[in-house]
A and B are shown apart, each in its own frame.
Chain A
């Protein structure tokens, strides 16, 4: 499978727009669009792509948590996905939600996952085909995953607290203003109910955007290594936790660290600041 081989640890997890354009009808893949803009897929999408909504499809509708293994199997079956299907995710916002959806698929143990480098904007900017036709694939019988990998690639508040106390790498990928505690939401977004501003003590600020070029494609491995290995002290033998506000921007950084730099011990704290900044008694650090 063609990809951007820029010395990434796992270059096979990225596909380029040119490659995808030649494989739109490949029965072994399923193209999945996942966006922040909830109606964007409806306005036009890559031919053959299905839509997975991060909130309606991947999250439990009552408890703040992800869907059950049974529900995940139902989502995959609905979209004609089997464990052998290679799922290629793309979306708006330089693939925030695509990375988030990929991370959730990994939570359920789906191993064949890839990201379209540059996402929806790059595909569109190159004048590649878009359609409003919603594809229908024969339903599959996706086996119910035995468990969610909650303790392998997901971190909870207690894990982040322990990480903070131990001094191991914690990366805050929010905007500098959020990190400093001046605001509790990212610029240009609504305040969605966080009572305290700041960051988890010991966290280093590396906004998610540090990992991408202007066109939304990922930076080469050596640049990523300078940012995260040299700048934040992440290393293969030490566990790293990433977080943001609700876990989507940190999924993007989790993807870069896990697949592009090849770090096996990275977990995404999806409770992120909307949990930490509201939870009674959690330590908070502010900086200028």
Chain B
């Protein structure tokens, strides 16, 4: 599987790390999650802000698709969102930036284990996959609308 280049770089980074440094790096990404919030003046084709059963607080996903069909994401996280979810937010916003919505939708989720590590996935599987499912969800809505517009 060829992952988007930016995501591939992140996967390769995490795969070289011993467990303690993997945790430190996840925490560094979690610290950076706030930088993924929408900036003033930014435009989005889709916004999906909601509180799901699977997550401890509200998570917002904002999608902009540029003229080249490349996706760019912003996300907002409520204060109760857990550290691992924050980390995955920063990782995926950066790693999937510039991929197409279809590429993201087709992405297998196996890379999550390679980033987070099997142990954290085992004990927090719902948490680790939640952000990816939300990003895929907004990409699917965007693609469905494009298809509907094309046949209209």
Contact = CB atoms under 8 A, between A and B. Distances in A.
B119 to A, nearest CB: 7
A39 B123 contact: no
A39 B54 contact: no
A188 B56 CA distance: 5
Contacts of A55: 123
B55 to A, nearest CB: 7
Interface in A180-218: 185, 187-192
A160 B120 CA distance: 32
A56 B120 CA distance: 10
Given A37-B82, A56-B123, A42 B55 contact: no
Taking chain B's interface residues, is the majority helix, strand, or loop, or is none over half, making it mixed? helix
Tier of interface size on chain A: 10 to 19
A39 B83 contact: yes
Interface string A262-283: 0000000000000000000000
Given A187-B53, A188-B53, A188-B56, A42 B83 contact: yes
A191 B51 CA distance: 15
A43 interface: yes
B10 interface: no
Interface stretch (B23-31, B91-99, B135-143): B23-31
Contacts of A40: 82-83
A38 interface: yes
Nearest to B130: A190
A213 to B, nearest CB: 19
Most buried by A among B24, B54, B83, B120: B83
B53 A43 contact: no
Nearest to A186: B53
Interface string A30-50: 000000111110110000000
Contact of A190 (B82, B120, B126): B126
5 closest A-B pairs by beta carbon, nearest first, are: A39-B83, A190-B126, A37-B82, A42-B27, A190-B54
Given A42-B26, A43-B30, A188-B51, 16 more contacts: A37-B83, A38-B84, A38-B120, A39-B30, A40-B83, A42-B23, A42-B27, A43-B31, A55-B123, A56-B123, A187-B53, A188-B56, A188-B57, A189-B53, A190-B53, A192-B126
Interface of A: 36-40, 42-43, 55-56, 132, 185, 187-192
